[in-house]
Amino acid sequence: MREKDKKLVLESGREFYGYGFGADKEVVNELVCNTAMIGYQEILSDPSYTDQMVVMTYPLIGNYGITDEDFETRYPTLGGMVVREYNDLPSNFRYTKTLGEVCEEYGIPGISGIDTRELTRLLRDENGCQRAIITDVETPVEEAVKRIKETPRRTDAVQRVSCKKRWFSRTAHHKYDVVALDCGIKHNIIRQLNARGCNVTVVPYDTTAEEILAFRPDGLFLSNGPGDPKDIRGVVDAVKQLRGKLPMFGICLGAQVIAQVYGAKTYKLGFGHRGANHPVRNLETGRIEITSQNHSYAIERDTLQGTGLTLTHENLLDDTPEGVECKADKVFCVQYHPESAPGPQDSLYLFDKFVDFMRGEESHA
C-alpha cells in the first residue's frame, strides 16, 4: 500500500497526513471549505479561489474527470485542493483529462486521504479560515508553521486574474451590448448573457469610466473575483462615475463593489459561504431560492441605511445580505452565483432582470 507522502499543516500547528496528487510543489494559501456535492471542475477553475486552498466536504472527488467545455476560466488559479478520496479512473464519456492531470498542468497541488469532516469542523467551529501549507511529510511542523507566517499576504489577486486586453463574446442576432468588467469573471456568466441576446465585451479590471462609455454599451456587468473588495479602490471609483448612467448588474465581488459605490461597508466572514445549497429569501416575492455561493466577504446590513440601496435578498443561514438594488439608477447585485456553475438554477431570472433594465421595462421579480 502506498505510504502517505504529503501533509497539510495549518497556521495553528495542526497536521493532517495524506497522499499528494496534481502539482508536486509547496504552497501557502488560505484554507476554505466548499460543501457542494458536484462541480469540482467549476470550483477548480473559478478565479475567485485565487490564493485559496479548497477543502471539498463531499468525500469522493475526481470520479467524473475533467471536460474541456466546462472550464470557468482559461487558466485556473486555484491555490490547492484537499479531498477525502481522490479517484484517478473517471467514469464519464465526456471527460478528456483526470483532475490530477489538470492540477499538474496548471501548477495546483492536491492532497487526498485527509479527514475532511474533522478539518471542516475545525475551520467552522474553532479557528475560522486560516492559512495552511501542503508540504513534504518529513517537514517538521515548526518549520512548516514558520514558512506560513513568513509568506506575505498578497493583495493583487484581481490584477493577476483579470484579462490583460479586451475580448469579445458575440451571439447571433444580438439585441444588447454589455461591457463586463473582468475582476475574475466566470465563463458561464458570459454564456448566460449571450443566451439572452447580449454581445459581451470583456474588459480589464482597471478600465476607466470614459473607456467603458466609449463602447456605447446598453449595460455594465461587474464580475465576481478574488480577494478583499477594499483592495480594488480603482474599480470602485470608476463604477462610481458610471452610477446612474448605465443599468448595472453585479455578482459576488461585483456586489461588494456596488455596495461601496453607494457608501455601504463590507466585512470578512468567519469562514465564508461556499457551496451549492445555500437558502436565500427573495424579499420582493417571499420565495426561497437555493443558491450556489463562494465568497469570503459580505455587506454590512446596518450600513445600507441612507445609501439609496434596498435589501432584496437575505441568507437564511446567518441573515447576511445577499442582494441589494437601487431601482432609480437601475442598479442591482447579488452576493451568490445565479449562473449556476455549479449549482441549482433557481436564480437565472436575474439575468432576465438585467435585460429588462436595458430594455427599459419593469424588472422580473
Question: Amino acid identity of 68?
Answer: D
Q: Which residues pair with 53 in a beta bridge?
A: 31, 80
Q: Which of 187, 273, 278, 337 is the catalytic position?
A: 337
Q: What pLDDT score was predicted for residue 363?
A: 52
The 10 Å CB-count burial string (b at 16+, else e) for 113-124 is bbebeebbebbe
Q: Shortest CA distance to 54 belongs to which of 72, 67, 36?
A: 36
- Cβ atoms of residues 22 and 109 within 8 Å: yes
To the query of whether residue 326 is one of the catalytic residues in this protein, the response is no
pLDDT digits (tens, 9 = 90+) for 263-307: 999 999 999 999 999 999 999 999 999 999 999 999 999 999 999
Single out the residue of 189, 149, 164, 217 nearest to residue 340, CA to CA.
189
Tell me if residue 33 is catalytic: no
* Dihedral of alpha carbons 297, 303, 309, 314, sign: positive
- The per-residue pLDDT for 67 is 97
Q: What is the pLDDT of residue 128?
A: 82
Q: Known catalytic residue: 339?
A: yes
How large is the angle between the packed helices 187-195 and 349-359, nearest 10 degrees?
Answer: 60
Average per-residue pLDDT in the chain?
A: 96
At 362 the pLDDT is 60
Per-block mean pLDDT, blocks of 10 residues, the chain (365 long): 92 96 96 96 98 98 97 97 97 97 98 97 87 97 98 97 98 97 98 98 98 98 97 98 98 98 97 96 97 97 97 97 97 97 95 96 57
Q: Name the β-bridge partners of 177.
A: 199
One-letter amino acid of 190: I
253 phi, psi to nearest 5 deg: -60, -35
In whole angstroms, give the CA distance from residue 268 to residue 80.
Answer: 21
Q: Give the whole-angstrom CA distance, residue 32 versus residue 271.
A: 7
Catalytic residue of the set 33, 129, 252, 326: 252
Query: Could you give the percent of the chain with pLDDT greater than 70?
Result: 99
Q: Which amino acid is at 50?
A: T
pTM assigned to the model: 0.96
* Torsion, Cα of 313, 314, 316, 317 (10° steps): 140
Q: pLDDT value at position 216?
A: 98
Taken in order of first residue, the domains within the chain and their CATH numbers are 6-150 (3.50.30.20), 157-359 (3.40.50.880)
- Number of helices (H) and strands (E) in the chain: give both, helices first: 10, 19
Task: Please tell me the distance from the alpha carbon of residue 179 to that of residue 217, in angstroms, as a whole number.
Answer: 6
